[in-house]
Amino acid sequence: MLVTGTGETVPAIRPDYPEPLWIQAVNLIRGEIDSGVLKPGMRLPPERELCTQLNISRVTLRKALGKLVDDRVLSSSHGRGWYVSSASVGKEWPNSLESFSETAARMALTASSTVLRAQSAPATLDEAEELSIAPGTPLFHLERIRRLNDVPIAIDATRLPLSLAPDLVDTDFSEASLYERLAAAGVQPARADAIIEARGADAAIAKALGVEVAAPVLMMRQLVLDADDRPLFVSSITYAGDRYRLRTYFSRSRS
Amino acid sequence: MLVTGTGETVPAIRPDYPEPLWIQAVNLIRGEIDSGVLKPGMRLPPERELCTQLNISRVTLRKALGKLVDDRVLSSSHGRGWYVSSASVGKEWPNSLESFSETAARMALTASSTVLRAQSAPATLDEAEELSIAPGTPLFHLERIRRLNDVPIAIDATRLPLSLAPDLVDTDFSEASLYERLAAAGVQPARADAIIEARGADAAIAKALGVEVAAPVLMMRQLVLDADDRPLFVSSITYAGDRYRLRTYFSRSRS
DNA sequence: AAGTGGTCTAGACCACCCC
DNA sequence: GGGTGGTCTAGACCACTTA
């Protein structure tokens, strides 16, 4: 609808907000791309025209376009216009701190878990330092075998202060999503520092994942932080080498 | 100057731009933090007050603040104010991966290379598609064993269109840095898509790295892009599993 | 109720690209 | 020169926090 611009379609943006206008604009443009109306490489209508079509101001539109640049969906060229990014990758990964369940959903697979451990224990000195808490603080240990369509993919060992969400001890994590439960408790992960390495599987890992001992596994240790860079929890995920790939993207400092 | 706000200091922002006002504001606030005038955890003056101090509009100020949020320098809290992020680490990366040379520098080790291959060959169909070029276009193949203090750490296989920097064929890469040469030729990498996986070493890799066959290795394949998302080159790096860790950080999509 | 960030607008001028 | 993105402004109203 954006590209044809016959001029008479209903704007589809409601000023009496359920959501901010610029987010509605983001979703609307994303929709045009996902539905194939806007194809990779195509030029968008000029900003001023989009403004009248969407019935929003140029500042608001540009906030939406900026978000889509961050997500690598669009790019701009000064005197020329806005273009849909050619990368076929573009639609998949905004920039992932994606939970296992979210990944599964995106790939249209069924995620399930076997809980190996789900109990509270006092924080050791090392754990306390890593999480900026007092030693002895109750720490919830959650260890799960993560499966996609029942195939074991990874072992996830997460440790987090019980104070973040005290009801975790009563949760059945063979079905529940940790990130969902945390969200319900008002915990909002924003970033994670990660260290990634390749190792050979030891006996315990080999058994849990159903691979040979010494088979290559990918191990990622994460420290997850909130928007103010306060540590939330640590997580150590071991992936069967031949069953998973991490995807990410890097960028150099923007001006 | 920002925090004391006696009201009589010169704005230090010049409207007759060498740089956009919002970038000047970013640098000015960064400076206050780096110089210790603003310390981690401190609250900034209200936006409207900063506007009059810096003599810029609120929209412009907020663009600067938004950039500083991206860089993890500041964070906001709705009815409360703007705060300097606590993490001292955060100054560098927007979203980055530590490069081989950077790792060497951090560990105070010496980086060196053995060139396995440095020659031009016509692009295959697959390569052409990946790089959005015509099949048969001359492609420069650079394969190196990367060492730290003479210990082999990784094999780096990079393929790039010779047109990017024709003098690459005459360069001695046992010493030279590829990124430096590209920068000299005006090539500016902006982002990279990466896929990371764990594998077992095959015979060639095992020999080059001096590890057992089937030993775990970390393989990272990158597609490096410029600011407009045009593909520049592809790079495939295989690390000996017990000799290297990748460090990165993720962030969750901002709303 | 006062203070503060979050969103939004209408209009202006500049810099770049292409004809 | 005409079209397009990039920057900037002054002012308005809303939502959240704190007292």
pLDDT of residue B6: 47
Residues A107 and A228 in one domain: yes
Minimum-distance nucleotide, CA of B77 to C1': C5
Question: pLDDT value at position B253?
Answer: 53
pLDDT of residue A128: 92
Q: Looking at the structure, do residues A105 and A224 belong to the same domain, yes or no?
A: yes
Q: Which chain A residue has its CA at the smallest distance from B26's CA?
A: A255
B79 CA, C6 C1': Å apart: 10
- Give the per-residue pLDDT at B144: 94
For residue B74, is it within any domain? yes
Domain-located, residue B6: no
As a whole number, mean pLDDT of residues A51-60 equals 94
Better-scored residue on pLDDT, A129 or A102: A129
- My answer on whether A148 and A170 are in the same domain is yes
* Cα distance between residue A229 and residue A252, in whole Å: 21
Indicate if the pLDDT at residue B120 is higher than 60. Answer: yes
Contact A217 B198 (CB under 8 A): yes
Q: Are residues A132 and A220 in the same domain?
A: yes
Chain B residues in contact with A22 by the CB 8 A cut-off are none
CA distances in angstroms from A114 to A123, A142, A157, A204, A217, listed in the order given = 24, 11, 12, 14, 19
Res B227 pLDDT > 80: no
Q: Which residue has the higher pLDDT, B50 or A194?
A: B50
A79 and A202 fall within a common domain: no
Domain that holds residue B217: 100-240
CATH number at residue A38: 1.10.10.10
Read off the pLDDT of each residue in A216-223 and give the average, rounded to a whole number. Answer: 92
Tokens at A246, concatenated: 């991490």
B190 Cβ neighbours under 8 A, 6+ residues apart: A251, A252, B225, B226, B227
pLDDT (0 to 100) of residue B207: 95
The CATH number linked to B195 is 3.40.1410.10
- The C1' atom of C18 and the CA atom of A81 lie apart, in whole Å, by 12
**Statement to judge: residues A153 and A232 lie in one domain:** yes
Q: Inspect the interface and report whether the beta carbons of B250 and A192 lie closer than 8 Å.
A: yes
Helix ranges, B55-184 (H): 58-70, 100-106, 125-131, 178-184
What secondary structure does DSSP assign to A153-178, as a single string?
EEEEEEEEEGGG-GGGGG--TTT--H
For residue B86, give the nearest of A72, A197, A228 by CB distance: A228
- Report chain B residues whose CB lies below 8 A from the CB of A102: none
On whether both B197 and B82 belong to a single domain, the answer is: no
* Contacts (Cβ under 8 Å, ≥6 apart) of A94: A70, A71, A72, B253
Last residue of a domain, one of A34, A59, A91: A91
Report the candidate in B72, B74, B149, B73 with the shortest Cα–Cα distance to residue B108: B149
Residue B58 has pLDDT above 90, yes or no: yes
Q: Single out the residue in A57, A91, A125 at which a domain terminates.
A: A91
Q: Is A236 found in the same domain as A110?
A: yes
Task: Give per-residue pLDDT as tens, A163-201.
Answer: 888 888 888 888 888 887 887 777 778 778 888 899 999
Domain assignment of residue A1, yes or no: no
Lowest mean pLDDT among A230-244, B192-206, B224-238: B224-238
Distance from CA of B206 to the nearest CA of A (A): 14
The answer to the question of residue A251 being in a domain is no
Does residue A45 sit in the same domain as residue A82?
Answer: yes
B194 and B107 together in one domain: yes
User: Which among A91, A115, A135 is the end of a domain?
Assistant: A91
Domain assignment present for residue A78? The answer is yes
Distance (Å) from the alpha carbon of B218 to chain A's nearest alpha carbon:
5
Where does the pLDDT of residue A62 fall: very low under 50, low under 70, confident under 90, or very high at 90 and above? Answer: very high
Nucleotide D5: closest residue by CA–C1':
A78
Contact A215 B200 (CB under 8 A): yes
pLDDT band at A253; cut points 50, 70, 90: very low
Q: Using a CB-CB distance cutoff of 8 angstroms, which residues of chain B are in contact with residue A247?
A: 193-196
Q: Is the pLDDT of residue B95 over 80?
A: no
In chain B, count H helices and then E strands: 7, 9
Closest by alpha carbon to A162, among A190, A122, A191, A113?
A: A122
Where residue A36 falls among pLDDT bands split at 50, 70, 90?
confident
For the segment B146-169, what is each residue's pLDDT rounded down to a tens digit? 998 899 999 999 999 998 888 888
Q: Is the dihedral of CA A148, A104, A114, B245 positive or negative?
A: positive
Nucleotides of D under 7 A from a protein CB: 2-12, 15-18
Q: Looking at the structure, do residues A146 and A35 belong to the same domain, yes or no?
A: no
So what's the pLDDT on residue B117? 94
Q: Is residue A249 part of a domain?
A: no
- Hey, what are B29's tokens? 């606030």
Q: What is the mean pLDDT of residues A68-93?
A: 75
**Residue A58 sits in the same domain as residue A143:** no
**What pLDDT, on a 0 to 100 scale, did the predictor assign at position B231?**
86
Q: What is the pLDDT of residue A87?
A: 57
Phi, psi values for residue B213, rounded to 5°: -65, 140
Of B94, B239, B247, the CB nearest to A253: B94
Residue B85 to residue A199, Cβ atoms within 8 A: no
User: Is A255 inside any structural domain?
Assistant: no
Nearest Cα of chain B lies from the Cα of A78 at a distance, in angstroms, of 11
Number of domains in chain A: 2
Residue B1 lies in a domain: no
pLDDT digits (tens, 9 = 90+) for A200-216: 999 999 999 999 999 99
